[in-house]
Amino acid sequence: MAGIGILKFKRASHGYIMGTFKHDSKDTRENNQYHTNEHINRDLTHNNLQLTSRGTPEETFAYFKERISELDAASSTRKDRVELIGMIIDIPDAITLMGHEKELEWLKAANDILTTFCGGKKNVVNAYYHFDERHKYIDPETKKERMSLNHAHYYAIPEVNGRLSGKIFSSRSRLIQLNNSLDEMTYQNFGVRYCTGEKKKSRSTVTHLKEKSKMAEIELKLAQANETMLKFEKALNEANTRSEEAIKAEKVAKRLQNEYMEHLEALLPVKDMLQDTLNELTKVMTRERASMALQRFAPAIKTANKALEEVGEEPIQIDSDIIDLDEI
C-alpha cells in the first residue's frame, strides 16, 4: 500500500528537526550514529540517496533557518506555528518489483510533482531516499504480516503566497490533488497504480505507528502462546487421566508416560517465546495496562510453571508488582 504520511514541525522543535535530518542522513547512518531504528540494514545504506547538494545535516538545517528568516516578515511569529512539513512518500511495491532502476525513475518523476506541490525548489529543504529499511511488520489494523516499502522523506517549507501556512499547505484538498497526480504519473509511466484503493495512510507520527505495530506484534505472540498453552494444559490433563486408567496395563502406562514427557518437552520452546513476549510487553506498556493484559493468561502460565518444575526447568518469570501468580 503506497501512500503519503505527513509530519508537522513547529517553531519550538528546532532541536527535533536537526535530529530528524541526522537520522535520515546517509553518512550518519553509515557511521551508525543518531538513530535507534532496529530495522535499518547498514549493508543496504549505500543505496540511499539525497536530493539536494546540501550534503550534511548541518547544511540542511542552515538552509531551513535561512528560508524561514526570509518569510518571517510576512508570517506569524507564534511559537506554535508550523515551519516545516515532512512528507513520507512510499514507493509502490509494484515499482520495486520492477527493479532498482525503475525505482529511481519513479522517484525522479515524483520529485517533479512534489517540487511543484511545494512551490518550487526554494521550499524543498531536502529529500532523502531510503532503501535500507525493508522489513516485515504486523499491521496494527489487520493484525496481518506485511512488508514495509522503500520510501522517500521530503522536507518542505509550508510557504503559501509568500507566507508560512502549515494548515493550507497540508490541507486535505491539496493532499488529495497530490495523491491523484502521483497516481496518474505512476499509471501513465509504469502501468501500475499509486492509489490502490486500500485504507489511506495514517497521519500519525512514525514513532506512534511503530509503537502500534509493535503492540500488534506482541498481542499476536501472546495469542499464539496462549493457544499453545491451552493445548498443552488440555493434553496434560488427558495424560494424567489416562495414567490413572492405565495402571492395570504396564504397556499402556509406558506409552502414556512417553506422551506426557513429549508434552513437557514441547513446552520448553513455548516457554522461551512467552518469556520474551512478556518482557517486551512490560517495556511498552504501563504496569496497570500490562497487569490487565496478562490476567487472562495467568492460569495457563501458572499451570505451565508447575509442569516446568516437574522437569527441573526454571519457571516463567513475571514481575510480582504486575501480577502475582500465587494469588491466581
- Same domain flag for 102 and 194: yes
Per the domain annotation, does 207 fall within a domain?
no
Establish if 9 belongs to a structural domain.
Answer: yes
Of the chain, the percentage scoring pLDDT greater than 70 comes to: 61
Domain shared by 180 and 247, yes or no = no
Residues 6+ away with beta carbon under 8 Å from 315? 304, 305, 308, 309
Residues 231 and 157 in one domain: no
Could you tell me if 118 and 225 lie in one domain? Answer: no
Q: Which amino acid is at 74?
A: A
The reply to whether 188 and 54 lie within a common domain is yes
What pLDDT does 270 receive? 63
Contact 181, 113 (CB under 8 A): yes
pTM (global) more than 0.85: no
Which among 176, 201, 226 is the end of a domain?
201
3-28 mean pLDDT: 84
Whether 56 is covered by a domain: the verdict is: yes
* Grid cell of 39 as nine digits: 530495522
- Placement of cell 506485511 in the chain: 146
Flag the least confident range among 11-20, 189-198, 257-266: 257-266
Taking residue 183's Cβ as centre, other Cβ atoms within 10 Å add up to 17
- How many domains would you assign to the chain? 2
Q: Give yes or no for residue 99 having a pLDDT over 80.
A: yes
What are 215-249's pLDDT values in tens digits?
555 555 556 666 676 676 777 777 666 555 655 65
State percent of the chain over pLDDT 90: 23
Under a CB-based contact definition with an 8 Å cutoff, are residues 258 and 242 in contact? no
For residues 187 and 264, state if they share a domain. Answer: no
The whole domain housing 222 covers 212-327
**Residue 260: inside a domain:** yes
pLDDT in tens, 173-195: 999 999 999 999 999 999 998 88
Query: Are 121 and 228 contained in the same domain?
Result: no
pLDDT tens column, 27-36? 777 776 545 6
pLDDT on residue 204: 45
Compute the radius of gyration of the chain from its Cα atoms: 27
Same domain flag for 197 and 217: no
Report yes or no on 12 lying in a domain.
yes
pLDDT of residue 143 exceeding 80, the answer is no
Residues 192 and 254 in one domain: no
Q: What is the pLDDT of residues 190-209, one digit of tens each?
A: 999 888 765 444 444 444 44
Looking at the structure, tell me whether residues 235 and 305 fall in a common domain: yes
Asked if residue 184 belongs to a domain, the reply is yes
Enumerate the β-bridge partners of residue 233.
none
Of the candidate ranges 96-110, 207-221, 309-323, the one whose mean pLDDT is the lowest: 207-221
Q: How confident is the model at residue 51 (pLDDT cuts 50, 70, 90)?
A: confident
Strand ranges (E), 34-103: 49-50, 82-90
CATH number of the domain bearing residue 116:
3.30.930.30
